[in-house]
Amino acid sequence: MFKRLFSLVLVLALALSLSACGKEETPSEVSSEPDSSIISSIEEEPEVITAVNTLTGENNLDPAYTGKKPVAITVNNVRVAQSVQCGLHEADVVFETEVEGGITRLLAFFADPSKVGQIGTVRSLRVAFAEIATGMDAVLFYHGIDHTYCLPLMSSLDLTSHVIGAKTDSFRASNGLASEHTLYTKGELLDKVIKNKGLSDGGTKKPWLNFSSSEEKAAPSEQIAANVTVNFSSSYATQFIYDAAEKKYARARKGTEYKDLITAERELFTNVFVLKTSITNYPDNYHRKISLTGGDGYYVSAGGYVPIKWTKGSSGNNFSFTNVDGSALTVNQGNSYVCIMGDSKTVTFE
C-alpha cells in the first residue's frame, strides 16, 4: 500500500513539473510607484523669480534691478566705426539722431548692465542725449562733451552722470582705427561704478512705454513695413529689415545687417520709432540743435506701421506716444530703436 501511494506521488510530481515547463515564465511585476530613494536624491531646481523690465515691458529682469536707474551710454556711429560697434544687440532701447556734419550718434540704454558684455566705442555727449537721459531717469555714461552748449546745460539738469576714461571703467582696444574710435567699456565695469558710488537708487518703476499685456507680437496696422529706411542726412541712413521668424527688425545699412564686433550677433529690435522734429544748427553753425518738444512720427512693429504723435517737452519729461486721434499708443513688449530725424528728411516703407 505504501509503495503504491509513493508511486502516485511521484507521478503527480512529474506531471506538475512537465506542466510548469510548458508555461512561459512571467517576470515579476514592476511597481508603477517611483522609488522614493531616487526622488530624494534629485535636487529640485530653484524657482527663477523675475520682475518687469520698465524699458521693454518683458518679465525677465533680475529683481535686484527693480526700481534702479537704467544705464545710458553714448555710442560712436561715425561711418568708419560702425564695423567695430559692440553691445547694441543687448540694448533695451537705442536712440539715434544727428550730432554735427551730417553724422549721427547713438544713446543705448540697459536696465541691467551687469549682464552686458563689451560696449562701444564710446564717444562724447551732446545736448539731446543729456535731455533724453534725464527724461528716462538714467545714469548717463559718456567720454567727452560739447563744451559750447552741452557742458553749461549739465549743471541745470537733474541727471546722474559719470565721465568714463579711467582704467576702472573703460579700456582702449586695438581695432585698426584711430585712437578716438577705440574706447570701450563693459557692463560689469559700469555696474561696479554704479554700486561703488550709489548712483542707481531712486529709479522709476513705471514702464517708459504703454506696453501690451500680451507677449504676442501684433502689427499696429495692415500697412506693410518689411523694409524701412530712415534718411537722417544725405550721407547717413539707417535701414530696418523685418525678420518674420524672429518678429524683429535687423538694423542694417544698404542691405547689410550690422553685427557685433565681439559676438557677431545681429542687432534685432521689436519696436522701431521714427520721430520727426525740427533740427537746425546752433549759433556756431556746427552743432545740431534737436527740438524735443514733439511732432509727428511712425511706430513700426511686427511687419506693419502706423502714423503717431509724440511729445516730450522739458528735459525732465519722458517721451509720450499717441495714435493720431490722441488715444494712447499700445506697443509690443520688447526692445526698441528710436530714430529722431529732421522734418524735411524722408522715411520709406516697403
Longest dimension (CA), the chain: 136
Judge whether 9 lies within some domain. no
Q: Cα separation of 70 and 50, whole Å? A: 16
pLDDT of residue 42: 55
Q: Cα separation of 229 and 236, whole Å? A: 10
Do 260 and 85 meet the contact criterion of CB atoms below 8 Å apart? yes
pLDDT of residue 37: 53
CATH number at residue 106: 3.50.90.10
Domain that holds residue 282: 51-349
Q: Cα separation of 267 and 216, whole Å? A: 20
Judge whether 32 lies within some domain. no
Phi, psi torsion values for 150, nearest 5 degrees? -80, -45
Q: Cα separation of 303 and 145, whole Å? A: 38
pLDDT of residue 15: 45
pLDDT of residue 19: 47
Judge whether 270 lies within some domain. yes
Query: Which residue(s) pair with 171 in the sheet?
Result: 184
For the chain, the domain total comes to 1
Judge whether 10 lies within some domain. no
What is the residue-wise DSSP string for 28-67? PPPPSSPPHHHHHHSPPPPPPP-EE-TTT--EEE-GGGTT
pLDDT of residue 286: 95
Element holding 257 (H helix, E strand): strand 256-257
Prediction pTM value: 0.86
Regions of the chain short of the pLDDT cut 70: 1-46
Say which amino acid occupies 129: F
**Of 236, 279, 239, 231, which Cα lies nearest the Cα of 257?**
239
pLDDT of residue 77: 98
pLDDT of residue 27: 46
pLDDT of residue 8: 43
Judge whether 281 lies within some domain. yes
Phi, psi torsion values for 236, nearest 5 degrees? -125, 120
pLDDT of residue 199: 87
Judge whether 31 lies within some domain. no
Judge whether 206 lies within some domain. yes
* pLDDT, mean over the chain: 89
